[in-house]
Amino acid sequence: MPTLAKHTAEKNDPFEIHRKRLFDLRARLSGEMQNMADAALNQGRSESSSLPIHMADLGSDNFEQELTLTLVGSEKEVLNRIDFALERMRDGSYGKCEDCGKKIPETRLEAIPYTSVCVQCAELQEQNREEE
């Protein structure tokens, strides 16, 4: 019996890998935020677990580096960006730069799957931030 093509065709999803990584990262960050909240309540209990997140199987060095840098910033913001990226996957705008509309290079998406801007626009945003 023929079935109508569903628009959630996972097989043809070009962003399946990124989606999985986003979900994975989101789960880790959510868990980590909870852990940190717990840790804040029980200060100094486990000194051996100083790593902010378990990174053993997260993939590329680039990704780990970015993630580490980002973790120093705001986990909450990253979570928001992950949700936003997943939202953009649903509406089909994922992979396009939010600012200039150009395609975000695959290598950048591999490094930061939750990014919504290209390298150039990200740098511009950084500069603007520094000028404030």
**Nearest to Zn ion of 28, 96 (CB atom):** 96
Q: How far is the CB of 61 from Zn ion (least distance, A)?
A: 24
Q: How far is the CB of 100 from Zn ion (least distance, A)?
A: 3
Sign of CA pseudo-dihedral 4, 10, 15, 20 = positive
What residues between 73 and 102 interact with Zn ion by CB under 5 A? 97, 99-100
**Nearest to Zn ion of 64, 84 (CB atom):** 84
Q: What does the block give as tokens for 48?
A: 């051996």
**Nearest to Zn ion of 97, 112 (CB atom):** 97
In the shown chain, the binding pattern of residues 10 to 29 toward Zn ion, with x for contact by CB under 5 A and - for none, equals: --------------------
Q: How far is the CB of 129 from Zn ion (least distance, A)?
A: 16
Residue 118 makes CB contacts below 8 A (sequence gap 6+) with: 97, 99, 100, 102, 103, 104, 105, 108
Instruction: Quote the crossing angle between the two packed helices 75-91 and 16-41, to the nearest 10°.
Output: 160
What residues between 97 and 126 interact with Zn ion by CB under 5 A? 97, 99-100, 118, 121
Residue 63 makes CB contacts below 8 A (sequence gap 6+) with: 110, 111, 112
Q: How many residues sit close enough to Zn ion to count as binding (CB under 5 A)?
A: 5
Q: Return residues touching Zn ion (CB under 5 A).
A: 97, 99-100, 118, 121
